[in-house]
Amino acid sequence: MTGLNGRDFLSIIDITSAELEYLLTLAAQLKAGELTADCSGKVLGLLFRKSSTRTRVSFSSAMWRLGGQVLDLNVNLTQVSRGEPIKDTARVLDGYLDILAVRTYDPAELQEFADYAQMPIINALTDLEHPCQILADFLTMQEAFEAPLTDLTLTYLGDGNNVAHSLLLGCALAGINVRVATPKGYEPATAIVDQAQTLAGDRCTVTLTDDPKAAAAGAHVLYTDVWASMGQEDLAEKRIPIFEPYQLNDALLAVADPTAIVLHCLPAHRGEEITEAAIEGPQSRVWQEAENRMHAQKALLVALLGAD
């Protein structure tokens, strides 16, 4: 899959279904030690406007384990914080780095990095999408079920946010049936839903509903995220009564497939979007999912840097 070499990864649909399958296979092989890759002499930059634990540490650990180096570029210590144009920063960093992961609010800023830098640019999260998370989610599902991903149904419960967007697009790309249950007024962006439905075609179903129990019925994966994303903390208390029916709990697990697994991209607010019993119970794969961020991103780095 040398066709991934040098490309940007701004959205999960920047890759094809075949390339997604390749990345998941590569991630599984790297995780199992069946394959090694060498990124020595390569430098990954991390430019994050938002706080991060899993994305920052998993990318850093992945690159170090591949033999490469990492520069964590604190935005407040760069000229970006003083208003240097993104197009200037992008072209300067292009001379220092081999690949750059950007975590920012505005997807237009991410696109500007991609427009002006020749090196691969990775979306490490924007307000619109979180594609790296979806690679880890699918790797975790692949490990949990003997059936092909195309035989599965994933149900997302909660806010129609960036994770919901990438799940919609990613499931449609992979041929996974996807259901998104949100309160009225908190649905995913219409443009993303339309894009997912077009991608899905007749291979899988894309369902939106405000009925969490109907969405969970028979599902193989129950997935949730915080009810107020980064930058929306002032809305958190107001949202609790609106989102309470969408809590991932034993009642919803009871109507899901008996083999269903629980996923959460973290950080979790226990007692809000997910119960203690669900996140710590036998059906939870949340910690495996978190570890898989590193393995999935190892595969992504290897492929984009041409080290595969």
Q: Which residues are catalytic?
A: 103, 130, 133, 225, 265, 293
Peptide bond into 188 cis (omega under 30): no
Exposed (0-12), middle (13-18) or buried (19+): which is 289, by Cβ within 10 Å?
A: buried
Give the chain's length.
Answer: 308
- Triad 170, 172, 176: Cα angle to 5°: 90
Residue 26 vs residues 119, 169, 174, 257, 307: alpha-carbon distances, Å? 22, 21, 16, 29, 12
Instruction: Give the whole-angstrom CA distance, residue 240 versus residue 39.
Output: 45
Contact call for residues 170 and 134 (beta carbons, < 8 A) = yes
Phi/psi region, residue 48 (left: phi>0; alpha: psi -120 to 50; beta: rest), is beta
